Amino acid sequence: MRRYRQKYYDLFSNFYDLIIKLHSKDNRLFLRHYLARKSGIKPSDAVLDLCTGTGELALVLAHYAFKGRVIGLDFSLGMLNKAKEKAQKNGTKNLFFVAGDAAHLPFKEGVFDVVTCSHAMYELSGKTRPLALREIKRCLKSKGLFCMMEHEEPKQPFIRLLYYIRLLSMGKEGRKIIRNELKELKGIFNNVIKEVTSSGKTKVICGQKIG
């Protein structure tokens, strides 16, 4: 399954940015800044963007952490290659990319001030998600913050139907997080807060590591 998803994203990397652009127009950039602001990144912070994809969010985060560094991690080399190309083109010097699995992060304990994950937490099903959440906590510094962004359950009937089709494709295990995400996150992090954007379409959930 993991290998299949990797191959899927390697292929998808060729169209990903275009599809996202068509789907969300300028909203995507607004949302990336929204997440960066909610995570309270400071200029010299060390930040991990988990499941970074083509690095769109990581590029924005690197702007906020301009005296620090941002690492974008993903298991798809196709996605990472696109991300690297963009960072190079942009001349971003404090952004690095690492190939790896969210369930086994190749970092020491307590090294990041902030960990972000945009539109990927729902993809981590089965054992991967609980492992990834534990790994995020391990890699965060004390008082560090984890912030994830996902679609809120749509209100419009047709979009809602598409949303439920996506849920079906995630299988029983995958769907658990949709129903229990706050409970699941509260079991791992402290001060868990959910906020929904003014459009009502997107949510950001942040939790802190205490101790």
- What residues make contact with ligand SAM under the rule CB under 6 A? 5, 9, 51-53, 56-57, 74-76, 79, 101-103, 118-120, 123-124, 128
- Residue placing its CB nearer to ligand SAM in the complex, 35 or 46: 35
Give the DSSP H or E segment for 28.
Answer: helix 27-38
Rounded to an integer, what distance in angstroms lies between the CA atom of residue 48 and that of residue 114?
A: 6
- Residue placing its CB nearer to ligand SAM in the complex, 95 or 143: 95
- Residue placing its CB nearer to ligand SAM in the complex, 23 or 142: 23
Q: Are 100 and 106 in contact (CB under 8 A)?
A: yes
CB of 151 to ligand SAM, least distance (A): 11
CB of 207 to ligand SAM, least distance (A): 18
Q: Are 112 and 48 in contact (CB under 8 A)?
A: yes
Nearest to 95, CA basis, from 52, 156, 150:
52
- Backbone conformation region of residue 207, classed left if phi is above 0, alpha if psi is from -120 to 50, else beta: beta
- Residue placing its CB nearer to ligand SAM in the complex, 98 or 182: 98
- Residue placing its CB nearer to ligand SAM in the complex, 39 or 118: 118
CB neighbours of 84 closer than 8 A, spacing ≥ 6? 55, 97
CB of 91 to ligand SAM, least distance (A): 21
CB of 154 to ligand SAM, least distance (A): 17
CB of 120 to ligand SAM, least distance (A): 4
Measured at CB, which residue is nearest to ligand SAM? Answer: 53
Looking at the DSSP assignment, which residues form a beta bridge with residue 49?
72, 116
